[in-house]
Structure 1
Amino acid sequence: MFDYRSPALSKALTLLIILVYLAFNSAVADELSSQPQSTNNKKHYKIGVSFVNHYPHFDFSSAEDKGLSWAILEAFARDYGYTFEYVILPPVRLQSALDNRTVDFIYPDNPKWLAHKAEFDRNIYSIPITEATSASYVESFNQNLPLSEVTSVSIPFGYSAITWVEPIEKYNIKSIPVRDLEMALHALKTRTAVAADVEYNVGQHLIKSRPILGSLVVNKNLPKRAVNYHLSTKEHVLLLEQISQFSLEQKELIEMLRSTYGIKSYEQVFN
């Protein structure tokens, strides 16, 4: 009997959904690709992407299934006759790559991450490609711990921990920088940190695949919020308009992909 929950089968189903969708839309894609898409008819774009393993949202270093964001971007590209080249970079280098025009777009991006940037040099953003859920993980015995009693929080390097900025200052909480999301969770097991700032769905994926993390849970009293992941650029506005239109027209496909990857929204987690 097949186990529909197995990672291998889930991956196969995800790729099958994408292939079936692309096959059904090939005629539409061919028609669109024969029409001028922009003044310079550019069809190949470079997208600077984070090298962080943020699966199931994204893992662009994977040789096969690169996650939900990749699946959505690839479906859009096929529909509109584009090809995307993913340039993997450290999160701290994404913005400079876009500023220098080394890449045409960066992903993920959010206007709140660059609130300090000069008004004349702002990025231009698509509508959200997908939504993430910032959450705070703890050991199960701290599931109801109030914020005022948290003494330390582990934060992965390169992440904008916007939900924790104010609490850290208000309660004099020690910020523990760690290499990645998995290490942020391991910091709870070693008692290096009391809480961990980790995206909910990524945390669930890591906990399911790492038995040692099985006792970790989300504390709903601690910082949390919905965070949108956008595609951003300096100049390719037409493509952003097209991907926004695609997102509106293909809601059913996107919801199917979200379900296949098992991604829960903020409302599903905290309401």
Structure 2
Amino acid sequence: MKLRIIGWLSAGLLYTNCALAQTYVVGVEEQSFQPHYWQDEKGEYRGFAREVLDLFAREAGIELRYQAMPISQLTRHLLNGGVDFKYPDSPHWGQDVKQGKGIVYSQALVDYVDGVLVEPSRLGKGVERLQRLALVDGWTPGGYQVRIAAGQTQLIRSGDLRQMLRLAMRDEADGAYYNVVVATYYLDNIRARPGALVFDPALPHSRGSFHLSSVRQPQLLQRFDQFLSAHAGAIAALKERYGVEANLNSEYLGMEQWKVDFLKRQKEKHKP
């Protein structure tokens, strides 16, 4: 009888702890941005970002619910309390809307490079040859504002990544501006056209980081920063597995992996 009572008490405590777990809503982008994040066929949020945030939730003893919405709505929901957190975010995005609104940001979770992908025959031809630049709606091409204002580069907008890359591959644009890792992943793994477009490091490009942001939960954001530091090894392993920073700080950025492996082997052979 005593063992049965103890079992009931243990089950009751477990149920109470689960029931008391606080739930927070993370506003996420309603788009496929592989390998960083995407929604699967059932609408479930997946990817590197989900794994990191779920790991934090387990460590913190909380529950996170992911609410996908159009990118244009995310900041508004963050500011009006519709969501507790926004991911991804950056203090450099939308400063005119965010100024004075009390948004706080976590440490950088993952780094990225946005730049122009071109057909291999156009590689290294210079910015003067970039007269038609394909762009997904909502994106701003860093480093090209002066040329755009002067009429030297015309923007050709499209609804999504697939349409934008197709413009460049069909020579309807001289290049396509996007997150280099995401665009390369799409060409290699989804479009099955590896090497059809390649990153041109000689053209203007920008570097940045994705952060978790909040207005309502600054203290929990501090705990997230502590989590990032304490679990740096586990997060680095997730980055490696998903390839979210693949060759980000090397000369191989934007190349197909087989070519990277080949070039690395060649370098090893020719070492003195």
TM-score (norm 2): 0.78
Please say if residues 50 and 60 of structure 1, whose CA atoms lie closer than 8 Å, have aligned partners that are also in contact: no
1:242 equivalent in structure 2 = 223
Note if 1:175 corresponds to 2:155: yes
Shift of 1:124: 1.2
Report how far residue 269 of structure 1 moved. Answer: 4.8
Could you tell me which residue of structure 2 aligns to residue 54 of structure 1? 33
Question: For 2:210, what is the secondary structure of its paired residue?
Answer: strand
In the TM superposition, what is the alpha-carbon distance from 1:105 to its structure 2 partner? 1.1
CA contact (8 A) 2:142 2:204 kept: no
Deviations 1:3-30 (A, max 9, x none): xxxxxxxxxxxxxxxxxxxxxxxxxxxx
Question: Offset of 1:93 from its aligned partner?
Answer: 0.6
Q: Select 2:210's aligned residue among 212, 226, 229.
A: 229
Alignment equivalent of 2:182, drawn from 191, 196, 202 = 202
Match in the other structure for 2:132: 152
For the 8 Å contact 1:55–1:66, the answer to whether it is kept is no
Deviations 1:169-220 (A, max 9, x none): 3562111111112222111112221111121111121111223464211111
* CA–CA distance in structure 2, aligned partners of residues 179 and 213 of structure 1: 22
2:88 aligned residue: 108
Tell me the amino acid that sits aligned with residue 250 of structure 2: Q
Q: Structure 1 residues 244 and 130, CA, compared in 2 at 3 Å: closer, same or farther?
A: same
Partner residue in 2 for 1:267: 249
Aligned residue pairs, count: 233
Kindly, what percent of the aligned residue pairs are identical? 24
Structure 2: give runs of 5+ residues left out of the alignment.
1-15, 254-272
1:85 aligns to 2:65 (yes or no): yes
Larger radius of gyration: 2
Q: Confirm or deny: 8 A CA contact 2:81 2:216 kept in the other structure.
A: no
Return the letter of the residue paired with 1:267: N
Q: Secondary structure at the match of 2:172?
A: coil
Q: Give the partner amino acid of 1:174.
A: Q
* C-alpha displacement of 1:80: 0.5
2: CA distance, partners of 1:42 / 1:105: 17
Structure 1 spans left out of the alignment, 5+ residues: 1-32, 35-40
**Residues 45 and 84 of structure 1 are in contact (CA less than 8 Å); yes or no, is this contact kept in structure 2?**
yes
Deviation of 1:255 after TM superposition, in Å, equals 0.7
CA contact (8 A) 1:131 1:265 kept: no
Per-residue CA deviations over 1:244-265 (Å, capped at 9, x if unaligned) read 1111111110110011012325
Residues 84 and 215, structure 2, Cα contact 8 Å, conserved in 1: yes
Distance 1:269 1:68, change over 3 A: farther
Residue 45 (1) aligns with residue 34 (2): no
Measure the CA separation in 1 of the matches of 2:50 and 2:183. Answer: 19
Aligned partner of residue 267 in structure 1, secondary structure: coil
Tell me which moved more, 63-72 or 128-137: 63-72
Map 1:65-76 to 2 at 5 A: 66-76=46-56
Counterpart amino acid of 1:72? V
Equivalent AA in structure 1 for residue 213 of structure 2:
S
Give yes or no for the alignment of 1:139 onto 2:119. Answer: yes
1:187 is aligned to 2:171: no
